[in-house]
Structure 1
Amino acid sequence: MVAFENSTRNFDEPKSARLEARTQPSVKEAISRAAALNGVELSSFVVSAAYRAAQETIEAHRLTVLDSAADRAAFFDALEHPPMPNKRLREAFALRETLISNAD
């Protein structure tokens, strides 16, 4: 049996924020059963699982992995020798400058 690890237990702050979710009864039943098998309350199980998934998602989006040597070479070549901006990019920068100067 996999031991349950509450990934949110080390936070030193009050539990004042609420989460609500609607789901199918069979999904709730499965989650409730998993929580019971781990000997924890449903809300602790759900919040801990959601928090772990959130951390994994944030980490996955924080990192860029270039597996092949060709990918790494192309990436660093583009950094060292960036292409000239095309017409649409030049227009976007011009629009940005206009918006910023009119923001005052």
Structure 2
Amino acid sequence: MLAFEDSTVAVDEPKSARLEARTQPSVKDAISRAATLSGVEVSSFVVSAAYKAAQTTIEAHKLTALESEADRAAFFGALENPPKPNNRLKQAFALRETLIANAD
């Protein structure tokens, strides 16, 4: 049996927020079985796994790797001499604002 590691244990806040999700019965059964095998409640298992995945996703979006000299030159060249925004970029920024405004 793998040891269960609660990734939320370091979060020093009261548990006052709720999460709800609908899923297929087989998915719920698999999650329930995994939680039982880990010796924890389903809610602890799900929240811990989701929190770990959230942290990984957030960290992945913080990093930009420029592997080649050409990539670095293009990146820093665009920073020093940015092109004017075209219509597609303006539309993308407008969509981003809408998505962020509706994220809550």
TM-score band w.r.t. shorter chain:
0.7 to 0.9
**Does 2:71 match 1:71?**
yes
CA distance in 1, matches of 2:52, 2:71: 30
How far apart are residue 2 of structure 1 and its match? 3.0
**Partner AA of 2:21 in structure 1:** A
CA distance in 2, matches of 1:86, 1:16: 43
TM superposition outliers: structure 1 runs of 4+ over 6 Å: none
**Partner AA of 1:78 in structure 2:** A
CA distance in 2, matches of 1:12, 1:29: 30
Q: Against the structure 1 CA distance between its residues 67 and 35, is the aligned structure 2 distance closer, same or farther, given a 3 Å change threshold?
A: same
Q: Look up the match of 1:45.
A: 45
Identity of aligned residues (%): 74
Q: Look up the match of 1:34.
A: 34
Instruction: Note the alpha carbon deviations across 1:16-63, whole angstroms, 9 max, x for none.
Output: 111011111100000011111111110000000000111111111122
Q: Report the TM-score, using the length of structure 2 for normalisation.
A: 0.74
Q: Against the structure 1 CA distance between its residues 39 and 80, is the aligned structure 2 distance closer, same or farther, given a 3 Å change threshold?
A: same
After TM superposition, list the pairs within 5 Å mapping 1:1-104 onto structure 2.
1-83=1-83, 85=84, 88=87
Instruction: Note the alpha carbon deviations across 1:62-101, whole angstroms, 9 max, x for none.
Output: 2212222221121112222333x26759xx6xxxxxxxxx
Give the number of aligned pairs. Answer: 89
CA distance in 2, matches of 1:76, 1:2: 46
SS at match of 1:62: coil
